[in-house]
Amino acid sequence: MWHINEIVQAVNGTIYRMEREVFSGISTDTRTISEGELFIPLSGNNFDGHMFIREAYMKSHGGVLCERGKEGLFGNSTGTVVLVDNTLKALLDLARYRRKKLQGTFIAITGSNGKTTTKEILATMMKSFYRVAYNEKNYNNLIGISRTILSITGKPDFCIFELGTNSRGEIKQLALIIEPDISLITNIYPSHLEGLGSIEGIVDEKLDLFYCTKEGGRVFINADDPYILPRWKDLKHQSYTFGMVQRADFSLTIDEDRGWSGFSITLTFPDGTMQVRTNLLGRYNLYNILSASSIAYCTGLDRDHIKRAIETFNPCTMRFTPIHSRHGYTIIDDSYNANPSSMEWAIRILHDLPCTGKRVTILGSMKELGEQTAYYHKQLGRLLKESTISKIFLIGQEMRETFNEINEERAFLFEDKTTLIDYVKNCISEGDVILIKGSRVMKMEEIVEVLI
Residue among 80, 98, 123, 76 nearest 11 (CA): 98
Residues 403 and 258 in one domain: no
Ordered strands of the 263-269 beta sheet: 132-134, 158-162, 105-110, 182-185, 218-222, 238-243, 250-257, 263-269, 272-278
Q: What is the pLDDT of residues 269-296, one digit of tens each?
A: 999 999 999 999 999 999 999 999 999 9
Residues 71 and 130 in one domain: no
Using pLDDT thresholds of 50, 70 and 90, give the confidence band for residue 229: confident
Q: What is the CATH number of the domain that holds 380?
A: 3.90.190.20
Please report whether residue 95 resides in a domain.
Answer: no
Q: What is the pLDDT of residues 56-97, one digit of tens each?
A: 999 999 999 999 999 877 766 778 999 999 999 999 999 999
Please report whether residue 93 resides in a domain.
Answer: no
Examine the pLDDT at 351 and tell me if it is beyond 90. Answer: yes
| Average pLDDT rounded to a whole number, residues 21-47 | 94
- How are beta strands 105-110 and 158-162 bridged, if at all? parallel
Q: How far apart are CA 418 and CA 160, in angstroms?
A: 40
Summary mean pLDDT of the chain: 95
Residue among 123, 76, 92, 97 nearest 299 (CA): 123
Q: How far apart are CA 422 and CA 414, in angstroms?
A: 11
Q: What is the CATH number of the domain that holds 252?
A: 3.40.1190.10
pLDDT score of 408: 97
Using pLDDT thresholds of 50, 70 and 90, give the confidence band for residue 184: very high
Torsion of CA 205, 211, 214, 217, to 10 degrees: 100
Burial category of 407 from C-beta neighbours within 10 Å (exposed 0-12, middle 13-18, buried 19 and up): exposed
Q: 27 near 37, Cβ under 8 Å? A: yes
Examine the pLDDT at 381 and tell me if it is beyond 90. Answer: yes
Containing domain of residue 78, as a range?
2-87
- Number of domains composing the chain: 3
Residues 112 and 244 in one domain: yes
Question: Which pTM was predicted?
Answer: 0.95
Residues 60 and 127 in one domain: no
pLDDT score of 437: 99
Which of 249, 284, 312 represents a domain boundary (last residue)?
Answer: 312
Please report whether residue 94 resides in a domain.
Answer: no
